[in-house]
Amino acid sequence: MQAIIDELAKQAGESLAQVSSKETLASFWQEYLSKNGKIAALMKNLRTVAPEERPAMGKVINELKQKVQADYDAAADRVNQAELAARNAAEAVDITLPAKVRPMGALHPLTLVRNQIIDTFSGMGFEIYEGPEIEDDDHCFTRLNVPKDHPARDMQDTFYLSDELLLRTQTSTGQIRTMDAKKPPIKVLVPGRVFRSDSDATHSPMFHQMEGLVVDKGITLCDLQGMLDSFVQQLFGSEVRTRLRPSYFPFTEPSVEVDVSCFECHGKGCSLCKHTGWIEVLGGGVVNRKVLENCGIDPDEYSGIAFGIGIERIAMLKYGINNIGLMFENDLRFLKQFQE
């Protein structure tokens, strides 16, 4: 039995000398120190030893087990230190190298202007509503006082998905949906994308609008001009003034085009305002009685004002952009100009 113990001690020492990784360390433990290992087998074989020799042999086996365990712990520490050193070497950072530069992003100019408009009108008590981009003919035209034979459809009747469904041509559809769901008083702002068959330096087949609607008792065109005065002064400066010119829209009566005094030349006349001193920015008016009736609102008790803002137009004026296509090309040279 003693010869077997001595031979096992020799084998364990030689095996432990070959240990160089956690995998070989685990194999050594499994072979020698586990419940089914060779040292545990020695303990089981004590029953073959004469009874009077068993205490002495058990002591020798325990001493072997303690020695092999101690050598195993030392080898495990050595392997861990070696792997840590290797990992540190692999993860070493050369601090003399130039740092990686991660360019900062920025909000798109359309997003900047959209946020500014929303902030301005939210401060006046407007709620925000975003309607669906796929609309039915009834919401997009008919209930906005634009029947199927109306000439105003010629500019907008486009991008149909079926006989009754189309991509909305204006965020005015949000007026109808809001008045269907809520009765006066109403004060809502409807931002979103709209679609028309336009494409040139100042028009795009897809662009963004911001529709505003106020319905309450005693609302007049004066309320519209007062709100728009505050709006343009927030965006273009405190010296800017508004001017209303008569116009025509099927869903408002009376209707107006809204101009602002040129913020570039302060009304003196320049290339931006085409030497008129004024720049057209949006359209609006008093909500047509028929539109109110179509939504179940009594036009003899309530009146309303509505206005539509082209976000691209405001952005082009505010930032001096001369081609609407620049805002959809994702050219970083253009977009970086709007980093704050």
Q: Where are the domains of the chain?
A: 2-90, 109-338
pLDDT in the model for residue 340: 64
Asked if pLDDT for residue 17 goes beyond 70, the answer is yes
Separation of alpha carbons 67 and 99, rounded Å = 51
Average pLDDT, the chain: 87
Q: Work out the average pLDDT over 167-181.
A: 93
Taking the C-alpha atoms of residue 4 and residue 171, their distance in angstroms, rounded to an integer, is: 93
pLDDT at 314 over 90: yes
Q: What's the CA angle centered on 133, arms 129 and 136, to 5 degrees?
A: 105
Over residues 157-170, the mean pLDDT reads 87
Query: What residue type is assigned to position 50 of the chain?
Result: A
Whether the Cβ atoms of residue 172 and residue 191 lie closer than 8 Å to each other: no
333, containing H or E segment? helix 332-335
What is the per-residue pLDDT across 135-159, written as a single tens digit (0 to 9) for each? 999 999 999 988 888 777 776 667 8
CA nearest neighbour of 280 among 306, 304, 307, 305: 307
Residue 214: closest CA among 306, 124, 146: 306
Q: Which percentage of the chain shows pLDDT scores above 70?
A: 97
Q: If you average pLDDT over residues 159-178, what whole number do you get?
A: 91
> DSSP character for 203?
B
Read off the tokens for 278.
């004024």
Taking Cα atoms as reference points, which of 209, 244, 227, 231 lies closest to residue 304? 227
pLDDT digits (tens, 9 = 90+) for 277-300: 999 999 999 999 999 999 999 999
For 195-242, where are the alpha helices, taking DSSP H only?
A: 221-236
What pLDDT does residue 258 have? Answer: 94
List, edge to edge, every strand of the sheet that includes 206-216: 127-128, 186-195, 206-216, 303-310, 278-287, 252-261, 242-249
Q: What is the mean pLDDT of residues 243-249?
A: 93
Farthest CA pair distance, the chain: 122
Residue 102 has pLDDT above 80, yes or no: yes
Per-residue model confidence (pLDDT) at position 4: 75
| Domain 109-338 is found in CATH 3.30.930.10 | yes
Which two structure tokens, joined as six digits, stand for 231? Answer: 């709006």
| Higher pLDDT among residues 290 and 104, named by residue | 290
CB 96 within 8 A of CB 322: no
For residue 1, name the pLDDT band (cuts at 50, 70, 90): low
Average pLDDT of 31-39? 79
Higher pLDDT, 99 or 245: 245
Q: Which residue has the tokens 């004590």?
A: 46
For 209-223, the pLDDT digits (tens) are 999 999 999 999 999
Model pLDDT for residues 39-71, shown as the tens digit of each residue = 777 777 777 777 777 777 778 778 878 887 888
Site of tokens 């495990």: 76
Q: Which residues make up each annotated binding site? A: 253
> Which range, of 16-20, 24-28, 188-192, 326-330, averages the lowest pLDDT?
16-20
Residues of each annotated binding site for Mg(2+):
253
Q: How would DSSP label each residue in 5-45? A: HHHHHHHHHHHHHT--SHHHHHHHIIIIISTTSHHHHHHHG
pTM over 0.85: no
Contact 260, 228 (CB under 8 A): no
The answer to whether 170 touches 209, Cβ cutoff 8 Å, is yes
